[in-house]
Structure 1
Amino acid sequence: MSSAFHAQTDDQSEVVNRVIVMYLRCLVGDRPKSWLQWLPWAEFCYNTSYQTAVKCSPFHIVYGRDPPTLCSYQQGTDRVATVHKQLIARDEFMEDIKNRLLQAQVTMQSTHDKHRRSVHYEVGDWVG
C-alpha cells in the first residue's frame, strides 16, 4: 500500500506503475477526450506482453495459458457498418500504440545509455 504521506512500496510495484504510466501517456497523447474508451486495450497490451522478470506474460501467470491472439480485421467479412468501424479503429489504435511504445522504449534506452560508459580492455592492459 502506498499513499502520498507514506510512499513506501516495493520496487516491483514501482516498475509496474512506471510501465502503466508510459502506456497511459501513449494513449492520452493524441486522444485526450477519448482515452477512456481505449483503456481496456491498454490493459490488454500490458497483460499480454512478455515480462522478462517472470519469463511470461501476466495473463499466463493468472490463467496458466498463453493469451489469445487477436486476428487482424479483414475488410468485407462483416455485415454491420458499426462493427466495421470499430474493428478498423481497433487495428489502427493497436498499430499506433505499438509504434508509440517502441518509440518510448528507444527513448528510455537512450536515456539509460547516457549514464553508461563504454569500457574496453585489451589483453596487454592487464597487470600481472
Structure 2
Amino acid sequence: MLRGCVLDFGGNWANYLPLAKFAYNNSYQSSIGMTPYEALYGRPCRSSLCWIEVGERCLLGPKIVQETTEKIHIIKEKLKTIQDRQKSYADQRRKPLEFEEGDWVFVKVSPRRGIFRFGKNGKLAPRFVGPFQIEKRVGSVAYKLILPQQLSLVHDVFHVSMLRKCTPDPTWVVDLQDVQISEDTSYVEEPLRILEVGEHRFRNKVIPAVKVWWQHHGIEEATWEPEEEMRRHYPQLFYDF
C-alpha cells in the first residue's frame, strides 16, 4: 500500500501516513476474513465517510462478551485455514530426512554479503562445511553433531533441513604422492591458423595484422596480432594461407 502511494505522498509523510494506516486497518484481510479494526474492536469502523446507521450502537454486558468470543473463534479458524494451506504448499517441496547415530553429514552455511567465513568472503564462501559425525538425535527434527575444537563457539544442535548426508567413497580420495606438480605453471598458446588479413591504422603509420585462431579457444575468441611478429615466430602459418 505504501509503495503504491509513495509518489503521491511526496515529502508530506507526516500528514499522509496516518491516513494510510487508517486505510490499511479498514481494508479486508483474507487471512482473517475481516478488517484488522473489526478484529480488534469487534465491530466495523464507522467513519464520517460512510454512516450506514443513524445513532450509536452500544454493546454491554454478556452480549459484547459473546460477540467478542465469536469474533475470536472466526479469526482462529481463518488463520488455521491459511496455515494449513501454506503447510500443504511447503510439504510438496519437502523431503523427509532421517539420520542415524554415527552418520557423517555436511552442515549448510547461509551465505551473507560482506561476511568472512571459513577463509572465504561473500559468494566464494562454501555452502556446506564438514563432514561432521552425528552424536545423537535431539527431538524429532534436530541432531547433535561432534564439532572440532575450532568450532567450539558454534551451537552443536542443528535442524535436519541444514544437514546433508555424506556418503564416503574411497575412489574419490586422491593420493597426494601420485600427484606430480610442475614448478613451471606457465604454458604457451599455439596458433592454429590465420583467419583474416588486415591492418592497424595509426596517425603516422599503418601496421599489417592478421587475425589468429588459437588452440584451446573458440573461433569467436580469435585475436588480431602484428603480422611481422607472427611471421617471425610462426612462419608455417603463412605457407597454407
User: TM-score of the superposition, structure 2-length normalised?
Assistant: 0.19
Bigger relative CO (Cα 8 Å, ≥ 6 apart): 1
Q: Radius of gyration: which is bigger?
A: 2
User: TM-score of the superposition, structure 1-length normalised?
Assistant: 0.35
From the two aligned structures, give the one with the greater helix fraction.
Answer: 1
